[in-house]
Chain A
């Protein structure tokens, strides 16, 4: 039940962030500085999240050779191909292969 309420809250918040300028501020101009600042939200949050997902229950980051190599492989393939499917395949391939040895 808590999970469902959390989903409702995020759903509402998502709609607000998608609609705020379209509905409420349609006839006003948004300061370009605000729009530019918003463009850094995505990369900053996602990369912070990548690290946060590796945090174990003791509060420290647990990443071995397999994890780091998988990120490197994924980053390289994502940068070269700009394709999310290839990125995930490359990252998981590296993760599985190195996971066998380490």
Chain B
């Protein structure tokens, strides 16, 4: 339950980004059921709204979602015991929150695991799609001078801080931000991807170095 509640501000910020971007409410909202990943939706929509080249915006969102491959890898052994339909359907709902919940039950009886996974997924699917829609209705009421869109980077700061559980991740984050700053002038906002790449390489190197 706390996981669902913690996603409320996220959904509202996504709704706000949709309103600000000018891509239209319906198209913007469709990102909720189609992409179903808050950080990627936020990235894509914000970047599209600032006039970033579409290819750069799409790649940025996809790179952000590459972390889901970790979840996929971590759950692959558990899913091996599941029927085929569930192996195809399940990954659609593999959010950060879903993963955090189901990874604790990866060794459960396959049927219990499936029931739990489906219940958690259904909760998030219903919740996410309705909250983003609600945010779109409430959003325009807030005056522009509040600069609510600044909540987007603030939220990302929070996510980064919370994801740092050992030093190499801090290195990855700091180098990523620094390189993104240095390359900010690149056309089509390519500095974002260059910065991210530097950060990942720095994290991997710091990881190897700290093992010695």
Query: Using a CB–CB distance below 8 Å, which chain A residues touch chain B?
Result: 2-11, 13-15, 17-23, 25-27, 30, 34-55, 59-61, 67, 70-71, 74-75, 77-79, 82-85, 87-88, 91-92, 95-96, 99
A-facing residues in B26-83 (Cβ within 8 Å): 27-28, 30-31, 34-37, 39-41, 43-44, 46, 48, 54, 57-58, 60-77, 79-80
A92 touches B91 (CB 8 A): no
Give complex CA distance A82, B10 in Å.
Answer: 15
CB distance from B38 to the nearest CB of A (A): 10
Contact: B34 with A47, CB < 8 Å?
no
Residue of B whose beta carbon sits closest to that of A83: B6
A27 to B197, CA, bound (A): 30
Within 8 Å CB of A37, what residues of B? Answer: 200, 203-204
Expressed in whole angstroms, the Cα–Cα distance for A51 and B191 within the complex equals 9
B104 at the interface (CB under 8 A from A): no
Contacts of B94 in A (CB 8 A): 18-19
Q: A14-B35, A26-B76 are in contact. Are A92 and B66 (CB under 8 A)?
A: no
B68 CB contacts on chain A under 8 angstroms: 14, 17-18
- 30 example contacts (A-B, Cβ-Cβ < 8 A) are as follows A7-B27, A7-B30, A10-B61, A13-B58, A18-B68, A19-B91, A21-B72, A26-B77, A39-B169, A40-B168, A41-B63, A41-B196, A42-B160, A43-B160, A43-B163, A43-B199, A45-B200, A46-B176, A50-B153, A51-B184, A52-B60, A52-B192, A79-B162, A84-B6, A84-B159, A84-B162, A88-B9, A91-B155, A95-B147, A96-B146
For A85, the chain B residues whose CB sits under 8 A away are: 5-6, 8-9
Asked if B152 is at the interface of the complex by the 8 Å CB criterion, the answer is yes
Task: Tell which of A7, A26, A45, A77 touches B64, judged by Cβ atoms closer than 8 Å.
Answer: A45
- CB 8 Å contact bits of B137-157 with A (1 = contact, 0 = none): 000000000111011111111
Interface size on B (CB < 8 Å)?
Answer: 100
Report if A43-B176 is in contact (Cβ < 8 Å); known contacts: A26-B80, A87-B158: yes
Residues of B within 8 A of A55 (CB): 184, 189, 191
Please state if B179 and A19 are interface contacts (CB–CB under 8 Å): no
B15 at the A interface (CB under 8 A): no
User: Across chains A and B, which 4 residue pairs bring their CB atoms closest together, nearest first?
Assistant: A44-B199, A40-B203, A87-B158, A48-B195
The listed residue (B10, B24, B92, B199) touching A48 by CB distance below 8 A is B199
Cα distance, A79 to B188, chains bound together (Å)? 33
Report yes or no: A70 in contact with B150, Cβ–Cβ below 8 A.
yes
Bound together, the chains give a CA A4 to CA B28 distance in angstroms of 8
- Note all chain A residues with C-beta closer than 8 A to B200: 37, 40-41, 44-45
In chain A, what residue has the closest Cβ to B168? A40
Check: B161 CB closer than 8 A to any chain A CB: yes
